[in-house]
Amino acid sequence: MKNGLLELVNMNKPDEETVREQTNKAREPEPEEHDWSVFDNDIEHPDWEPPDIEQTWYEGWSIVPCGIISDFFNIVKSDTPDTFKLLSIYNTISSMLGPYFAFGKFKLNLMSVISSPPGIGRRSTVMRYDEILRESCLIQFCRELGIVSSPNTKKGRNIYSYLNIMTGTPEGIADAIIYGMKEELYKCTDPHFFTISDSEFGQTLKQYGYQYGILTILSRLKYGEEFKFSHSKRGDKKENVERNIPNNTYVTLLGGMQNPELFIDYTQIYQGLFRRLIFAYVEPNDIDKWMPPLSYGQVWTEEQIKLKELGKEIGKIKYKYRGLFLKDFKKRNNQPIEISIANPECFRIINSTSRDSYEALKKSCDSASLSGQNDWEHVLILACLNALSRGDVVDKLVVRSVDVFLAKAFVNRLKINRDKFCRQVCVNPDRPDVSLNTLRAFIKEHGKVEISVILKTFNITAEFLMTALHTLLASKQIKLTSNIVEYVE
C-alpha cells in the first residue's frame, strides 16, 4: 500500500526542469517598460518641458534609475518592497561614493529608516544587501589603494568593521567614530566616512536616559557639525572627560524598526531628527507581491556572489572618484567635487516641494506638516544619488531632470504612509486618541473655551495641553488670553 501511494505521487509529480522553471517564473517580477523619451537632451535644451509630475509620477510609482541602482534591482529578486530596496542601495551609494561630492553646504549623507510590522517587508534582508555591498566595495577600494592585497584578508574586513557602527549610546557612537578615524584608510587623505547600520533603531531611540542624547548627536552628524561630549569627573579622574567629533565628519544611517508607533512620539518629531530622516513605512496591505521563499538551487548564495561583484565595481568607481576629489583639492579650497543641476525646471520642482511643505505648516502645524519640512532636501540629495548611480562623473557631477523627477516621485510615495502615521502621533501618550487635530477641532467647534474645560473633557495633563496650545499659538490658529483659548479663522 505504501509503495502504491508513492508510485501515485511520483506519477503526478512534474519533472524537475518544469518545477524549476515554474518556481523561477514565480520569483521574477514581470518586466516593466517605461518611456524615457521625455527626458532626452534636457541638458542641451533648457526650454525642455517635463510631464505633469502629479499625473505621471505621483500615482503608481514603479521606476528605478539606470546604472548601479538598475544593476542592484536586476540582482535582487526578493519580494521586499521596492521602497526598502531603494533605500538600501541609496545608502550604499551615499556612504561609498557620496563623501567626495557636495551641493554647496549640502552633503550627500543619507539618513533613512525602514519600518514595518514584525515579519513583514524583510527588513533584515534589505539591510544585509547594503552590508554585503559596502564590505565588498571597501575591500576592493583598499585593494586599489594597495592597503590590502586580497579580498579575503582579515585586515580588509577589519577596516569595514571599524567604519560600520551597529548601534550604541551617544558616547558609544562618538567613541566608535573617534576610534575609527585612527584607521589606516584615513591616512590616505580620504574624508572621514562612517555608516550606522542599526536593525533595531527603534530600541536605540528608546534608550532610557539617552533618548535626547541620541536625537542630538544624530542631528549634528546629519549636517557634519562638530559635536563635543563633556562628562563630569568620575572615580579617580582628575580632569573632565571630553569626546570631540570634528566638523565635516560624514555619517550615513540605515535603520530598521517595527511599527513606528511603538518607538516614535511627538517629542522626537518636534525635536527635528524625524524630519531629517527619510522614513519608509509599509503596512501589510502595501505589500502586493509574494514570492516562494524556497526554490531549486542556492538563490541567496547566487545573490550574494552577484552583490559582491557589484560591490567590487562600486569600489573601483570609488577609487576613480577619490582621484577626482584629490586632483584639484587645493584649488577648490579643500571643498568636495562640485555638483551641477542642469535644468532650471529641476530647481522649480525642488523649491516647489519646499513651498508646499511651508504652506502645509501654515495651514496646520501638526506632526505631519512638521515631518515634511525637509522633503525638499531629501529630493535634492536623492536626485544627486540618482546621478551618482550612473558612475559617469568626469570633472563634476551633473544632475539631470530624470534624477530630480524620480527623487520627487520617491519622496511623494513615502509621504503617504509617513503622514498617515504622523497624524496618529498623540499629544499625550496616555491618551493616544487625543491628537493635535482633535484639540484643534474641539476649540474650533466652541470658538472660545476655558482651559479647565479642555482638561476635564479630554482628561489630559496640563503639561501636554500647554505643549499643544503653544504649537497652535505659533501657527496663529488660536489666541490665548489668561485661561481662555479662542480659535482664529
Residue-wise DSSP of 97-133: TGGGEEETTEE---EEEEE-STTSS-HHHHHHHHHHH
Cα within 13 Å of Cα(458), Cβ side: 28
- Tell me the pLDDT band of 366, cut-offs 50, 70 and 90: confident
Instruction: List for the chain the helix, strand, coil content (%; round to 5).
Output: 55, 10, 35
Label residue 419 exposed, middle or buried (CB < 10 Å: 0-12, 13-18, 19+): middle
Asked whether the predicted pLDDT for residue 5 surpasses 60, the reply is no
Asked whether the predicted pLDDT for residue 188 surpasses 80, the reply is no
- Tell me the pLDDT band of 6, cut-offs 50, 70 and 90: very low
Average pLDDT over residues 195-203: 85
- Tell me the pLDDT band of 89, cut-offs 50, 70 and 90: very high
- Residue 143, number of CB atoms within 10 A of its CB: 19
pLDDT single digits (tens) 444-463: 888 888 888 888 887 777 77
Asked whether the predicted pLDDT for residue 441 surpasses 70, the reply is yes
- Tell me the pLDDT band of 147, cut-offs 50, 70 and 90: confident
Asked whether the predicted pLDDT for residue 400 surpasses 50, the reply is yes
- Tell me the pLDDT band of 310, cut-offs 50, 70 and 90: very high
DSSP state of 15: P
In DSSP terms, which residues pair with 165 in a beta bridge? Answer: 196
DSSP state of 54: I
Asked whether the predicted pLDDT for residue 235 surpasses 60, the reply is no
- Tell me the pLDDT band of 94, cut-offs 50, 70 and 90: very high
pLDDT of residue 96: 92
Chain position carrying cell 521602497: 83
152 against 123, higher pLDDT: 123
- For residues 465 and 488, what is the distance between their CA atoms, to the nearest angstrom? 18
Asked whether the predicted pLDDT for residue 350 surpasses 50, the reply is yes
- 357, three cell numbers: 511643505
Asked whether the predicted pLDDT for residue 442 surpasses 70, the reply is yes
- Tell me the pLDDT band of 242, cut-offs 50, 70 and 90: confident
Domain-wise residue ranges, the chain? 59-333, 436-487
pLDDT of residue 143: 86
Closest residue by Cα to residue 445 from 453, 424, 368: 453
267 against 232, higher pLDDT: 267
- For residues 165 and 157, what is the distance between their CA atoms, to the nearest angstrom? 14
- 9, three cell numbers: 505521487
- Tell me the pLDDT band of 316, cut-offs 50, 70 and 90: very high
Across 102-116, 205-219, 352-366, least confident range: 205-219
Label residue 483 exposed, middle or buried (CB < 10 Å: 0-12, 13-18, 19+): exposed
Residues 389/68, Cβ–Cβ less than 8 Å: yes
pLDDT of residue 282: 86
pLDDT of residue 91: 93
**Sign of the dihedral through C-alpha 377, 382, 388, 394:** negative
Asked whether the predicted pLDDT for residue 381 surpasses 90, the reply is yes
If phi > 0 it is left, if psi is from -120 to 50 it is alpha, else beta; for residue 119 that is left
pLDDT of residue 21: 55
Calculate what percentage of the chain has a pLDDT beyond 70: 75
Calculate the average pLDDT of the chain. Answer: 76
